[in-house]
């Protein structure tokens, strides 16, 4: 631990200073890390609930920090959003995910998380178009995941971006559904193809009857609105059975597969496209 050489005023809260320091260091490291290629994408499978057939892989970013080892996104995405660095990170994520997915079988989609800030502050449409063109990935194989946070501050412009993406054939998923402040009117106002039921409902499925009721209600909602439903955080066979019985279309979770680097996925290239 380095000495900070602070000439502490009595009213100066050292913990706040320490936090600001820590934050600053994280930001400096993050910039350097981007330049040095310390980020990596892990992928986690989404499978059909009934057959367990692989339908998509979700890209989840990881940071190999030279001193702290593997850092999870919860520890740096917020900072990247506050500093605007999420634009550069998000671009790298889209480029990398699309390039990697281009070598997978045609019926496996790639799902990419889009931060609300990335949505508001960058030209998402351009960034996505570039990633598709550079990788040669057909737009139908890309799925973007957005959270309700995007919708909270939405403007007409966002709606038009979503519609343009959809027109291109890109699927749009609403992530962490059921946790936020979502008004159900969002569901008809925005062109969603998929609802990802938040992990908390899967977790409490056995313990709490109301979670089962909520999952069933979401599945019915999804059906009437022609949206695919996905349950996140499936860790046990029992959960899978219950979700299947509730009529969930797809599942994702440690039971089916943990997030892993591309090299460990064992997605065999069904066809060796271009050499």
Per partner kind, with CB cut-offs from 5 to 8 A, the member of ligand C2E, Ca ion, none near residue 12 is none
Query: Which of 29, 81, 175, 249 is the binder for Ca ion (CB under 5 A)?
Result: 175
Determine which residue in the list 77, 85, 219, 243 makes contact with ligand C2E, applying CB under 6 A.
Answer: 77
Q: Tell me the residue number closest to ligand C2E, measured at CB.
A: 253
Q: Does 252 bind Ca ion (CB under 5 A)?
A: no
Tell me the CB-side half-sphere exposure of residue 270, using CA atoms within 13 A. 8
- 148 contacts Ca ion (rule: CB under 5 A): no
Binding mask 14-53 for ligand C2E (x = CB under 6 A): ------------------------------x---------
Q: Which does 247 bind (CB under 5 to 8 A by kind): ligand C2E, Ca ion, none?
A: none
Q: Helix 14-36 and helix 86-101: axis angle, to 10°? A: 40
**Window contacting Ca ion (CB under 5 A); options: 131-139, 141-149, 182-190, 237-245:** 141-149
Q: For binding to ligand C2E (CB under 6 A), which residues are involved? A: 44, 59-61, 72-74, 77, 93, 113-115, 175-176, 233-235, 253-254, 259
- Using CB under 5 A as the criterion, which residues of the chain lie in contact with Ca ion when the complex forms? 113, 145, 175-176, 232
């Amino acid at each position: 631990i380095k000495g900070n050489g602070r000439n502490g005023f009595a009213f100066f809260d050292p913990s706040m200073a320490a936090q600001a320091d820590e934050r600053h260091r994280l930001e400096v490291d993050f910039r350097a890390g981007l330049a040095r290629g310390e980020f990596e994408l892990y992928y986690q499978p989404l499978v059909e609930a009934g057959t367990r057939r692989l339908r998509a892989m979700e890209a989840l970013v990881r940071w190999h920090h030279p001193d702290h080892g593997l850092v999870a996104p919860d520890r740096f995405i917020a900072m990247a959003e506050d500093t605007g660095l999420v634009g550069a990170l998000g671009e790298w994520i889209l480029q990398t995910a699309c390039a990697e997915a281009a070598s997978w079988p045609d019926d496996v989609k790639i799902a990419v998380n889009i931060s609300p800030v990335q949505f508001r502050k960058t030209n998402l449409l351009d960034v996505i178009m570039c990633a598709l063109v550079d990788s040669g990935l057909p737009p139908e194989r890309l799925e973007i995941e957005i959270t309700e946070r995007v919708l909270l501050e939405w403007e007409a412009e966002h709606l038009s971006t979503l519609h343009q993406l959809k027109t291109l054939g890109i699927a749009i998923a609403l992530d962490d559904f059921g946790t936020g402040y979502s008004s159900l009117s969002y569901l008809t106002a925005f062109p969603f193809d998929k609802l990802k039921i938040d992990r908390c409902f899967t977790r409490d499925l056995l313990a709490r009857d109301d979670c089962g009721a909520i999952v069933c209600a979401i599945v019915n909602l999804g059906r009437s609105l022609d949206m695919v439903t996905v349950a996140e955080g499936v860790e046990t066979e029992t959960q899978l059975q219950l979700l299947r019985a509730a009529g969930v279309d797809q599942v994702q979770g440690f039971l089916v597969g943990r997030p892993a680097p591309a090299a460990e996925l064992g997605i065999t290239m069904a066809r060796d496209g271009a050499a």
